Every structure is written in structure tokens, then in C-alpha cells.
Structure 1
Amino acid sequence: MKYKKKIHKLFLIGILLTLKFPAFGLTDDTDQPVIITSDKQSLDILNHTNTYIDNVMIKQGSIKITASKVVVIRPNGDPQKTVVDGFGDPITFYQMQDNGKPLKGHSEKLRYTFSDKLLVLTGNAYLDQLDSHIKADRITYLIPQKKMHAFSSKGKPVYSVILPSQLTNQAPKNSAQKDSP
């Protein structure tokens, strides 16, 4: 019983040390506690790997991620080298940004590398902010530089809808006029 309590405590510490999600939303989101629920969870202490399977929900501040499976790896136990891989049909995420605009999206796979602060969405990747959105096979977002790139397969376009009123932080004139592919 004492061994199980120790493993449980290590598991919780591992979660807190390995997860700090991207800082493209509210400034204090990454200072909030990480809450993870799933049907199954496992910890491989020797390989510094946490795995969450089925009905995975991760919440941290305004961040909410849902997935079928999430694997968190800390190579050699170094939290700065943490890699988060998420899988879903789709994996979804939501975050409120400092400017008060919600950012939401989905993809089949998500990868976040702490060392590069790079978020990569692959497979039916989609980002949406109010009525502006982008859809591609793969979207990368380099968080510190706030640089996004979208890519699609040969012969398939990247699709974007951008409302000028959102670029100037004004409310859209008519959000009912939503364009979709």
C-alpha cells in the first residue's frame, strides 16, 4: 500500500512537472494547475513517460484539450525537453487569449515541444478565432515569435477566411456571414 501511494505521488508530480502548455493565450494560463482526466492513465518512471488514454481532458487556466490519447515524454527527466503528443478523432483545443478573443481548433495529431516552443497540428488541422479561420493538412506555430505556417498536400489548397474587423480588434459587423469551405 505504501508503494502504491509513492507511485501515485510520483505520478502527480510527473504530471505537474511535464505539462505547461503553449503561452499563446492568457498570460497566466501556464501558471495555473494542470488537471487531467482520462479513462486510463499509466506512468513509466524509468522512461519518464506519462500516457493518458480514452476520453482525455486536459485543463489549465482557460486551456481545454480533449483527445483520445496523450503521451508526455521527458527525455532523461529534463522538463525543458518535454514533448507532448496528442491523438484524436479529432483532438480539440480551446484557449482564451489576452485580447479577449477565444482561439480554438482541432486536428488528428498534436505535438508540442517545450525546447522549441513549437506547436504542430497535423491531419485536418483547423484554427479558428471568432469568424476568421485557417484549414490545412498541417499547421505549425512557433510561439515565441508568433509565427504560423500552414501546409497542404500537393494539389490541395490551404483555406483561410480573415475578417478585416478582427485584424483591427473591432467587433465584426455581421458574424452571421460566415464563409465555409
Structure 2
Amino acid sequence: MKTNFMFVLLLCSSSLMAAAPDYTQKIQIDADNLVSVEENVLTYRSNVVITQGSMQMKADQLEINARAGKGKEIYLATGKPVTYSQMQADGKTVTAQALEMRYEPLSRTLTLTGDAELTQSGSVVKASSIKYNVEKQQLSAESDKTKRVTTIFTPEEKNNP
């Protein structure tokens, strides 16, 4: 039996944001090696860094599958762990880690699997898998029967006069 948990984080979005949203910016990949170039599939290995605006992902290996056509690429990063960070419009950073991350720029979706953990605004969600929409800042988490979804909320600190 699987445990499902839907958790939606609604954060204030700033209409005064000066920079274009990260998902509209180019994606840059740096790695020690480009080891495989198959038809519409690229594989990078060792010290892989994927950057798009303020979004940064670090992995041991990255496979980019472009078989579905331009603009529909799928980025599959693996590592021990893969790490992710992104600055939000409110200046706070979202961080995540997992053994595998699948990024789909078209749907702006990041799927974390294997010891998945996402931290946002001081709160942490841990699960077997987490699906996160980087544009809407919404997530859903799911765990198998041997592990449960865990959420830790950190209270906001009050400023005492």
C-alpha cells in the first residue's frame, strides 16, 4: 500500500521581479566528460553542473533525452546524491536532494526519487519520491509501505522589540 500526501506551498510572488523567470533562461551544462552521443541522447559524467538562471543542479551523471523533439527534452540526473537549489522571487532558496532527479523544462517539473528531500521556507518534506513544479512551487510526495512521508514545519521567528 502506498501513502499519498499532497502538500501545496503557496508563497507570495513578487510582481516586481526584475529578472526573467529561471525557466525562460538558457540551460547550461558543465561536466568533466561527454561520454555518449547517441541519436537525440547526450550523456555527461563526472562533476555535472546544470544551471538555468538561479537554478542549479549537481550530479554524477546526466542524460538528456531529446527524442520527443526540440523543447520536450528530459534531463535525468543521478548521483549520491543529486543536489538542487533555486532562488525564489521572495529571495528564499529552495533546496533538494535525491538519488535521481528528472527535470522536464516544458512542464517545469522536477521529480525526485530515492531518499528524496525538499526544503522550502524552513520546512522540509522527506519521501521516497517528490514531484515539484518549479513555476507554481507546488509539490506532492509519496512513499512506499516501508517508509512514510515526513514533513517538518519550522515556525517563523518573531522579532522582539
Establish whether residue 57 from structure 1 lines up as the match of residue 57 from structure 2.
Answer: no
Alignment partner, residue 127 of structure 1: 118
CA apart distance, 1:143 = 4.7
Q: Figure out how many residues of one structure are paired with residues of the other and give that number.
A: 141
CA apart distance, 1:94 = 0.6
Q: Which of the residues 74, 95, 111 maps onto 2:86? A: 95
Alignment partner, residue 71 of structure 1: 63
Q: Is the 8 A contact 2:81 2:99 kept in 1?
A: yes
Which residues of structure 1 form unaligned runs of 5+? Answer: 1-25, 166-171, 175-181
Alignment partner, residue 11 of structure 1: none
State the secondary structure of the residue aligned to 1:79: coil
Structure with greater strand share of residues: 2
CA apart distance, 1:57 = 1.2
Query: Which aligned segments of 4 or more residues in structure 1 are displaced greater than 6 angstroms?
Result: none
Cα distance in 2 for partners of 1:63, 1:154 equals 32
Structure with more relative contact order (C-alpha pairs < 8 Å, separation 6 or more): 2
Cα distance in 2 for partners of 1:107, 1:97 equals 20
Q: Which has the larger radius of gyration?
A: 1
State the secondary structure of the residue aligned to 1:75: coil
Structure with greater helix share of residues: 1
User: What amino acid does structure 2 have at the position aligned with 1:92?
Assistant: T
Normalised by the length of structure 2, the TM-score is 0.76
Q: Is the 8 A contact 2:74 2:102 kept in 1?
A: yes
CA RMSD of aligned residues (A): 2.3
Per-residue Cα deviation, 1:141-170 (whole angstroms, up to 9, x for no partner): 2456543111112042211112353xxxxx
